[in-house]
Amino acid sequence: MKKKSFLIIAFLILAIFLVGCSGTGIITPSINLTGNWTMTNTTTYTTSSLIADIGAVTTSKCNIVDDAGAITIYNFKIIGQEYIDWNIGYGVLNNFNLTANIS
C-alpha cells in the first residue's frame, strides 16, 4: 500500500510540475509591417551631418516588406529634405521597435 501511495504522490507532483512549465505566458501576435509607411526616426549613426545630426528626429516615408520580422525598406525619403537617392535598407523588428540601416 505504501508503494502504491508513493507512486500516486510522485505522479501528482510530476503532473503539477509539467503543468507549471507549459509555457502559457504572454503570447505576442505576429505583426506584418508590409506596406507604405510614414515613420518618425532617430538618427543613431551618420557619416554626414548634412543629412541629420546624431540624435536628430526626422519624419520619413518608405515602403516596407516584412518577412517574419526581417525588414526590407524601399523608396526611403526624409520629409522636408531635398531628394536623396537612398539604397535599399535592411533591419529587424523587435518589441515594436524597427532598427534599420539605410545608406
Mean predicted confidence (pLDDT) in 84-93: 87
CA distance linking residue 19 with residue 22, whole number of Å: 5
What are the extents of the domains in the chain? 35-101
pLDDT score recorded for residue 20: 56
pLDDT score recorded for residue 62: 92
Q: Is the pLDDT of residue 12 over 80?
A: no
Residue range 29-77, pLDDT digits in tens = 567 889 999 988 888 888 877 777 888 888 999 999 988 878 899 998 9
Q: Rounded to two decimals, what is the model's pTM?
A: 0.61
Exposure string over 89-100, b if 16+ CB within 10 A, otherwise e: bebebeeeebeb
Mean pLDDT estimate for the chain: 78
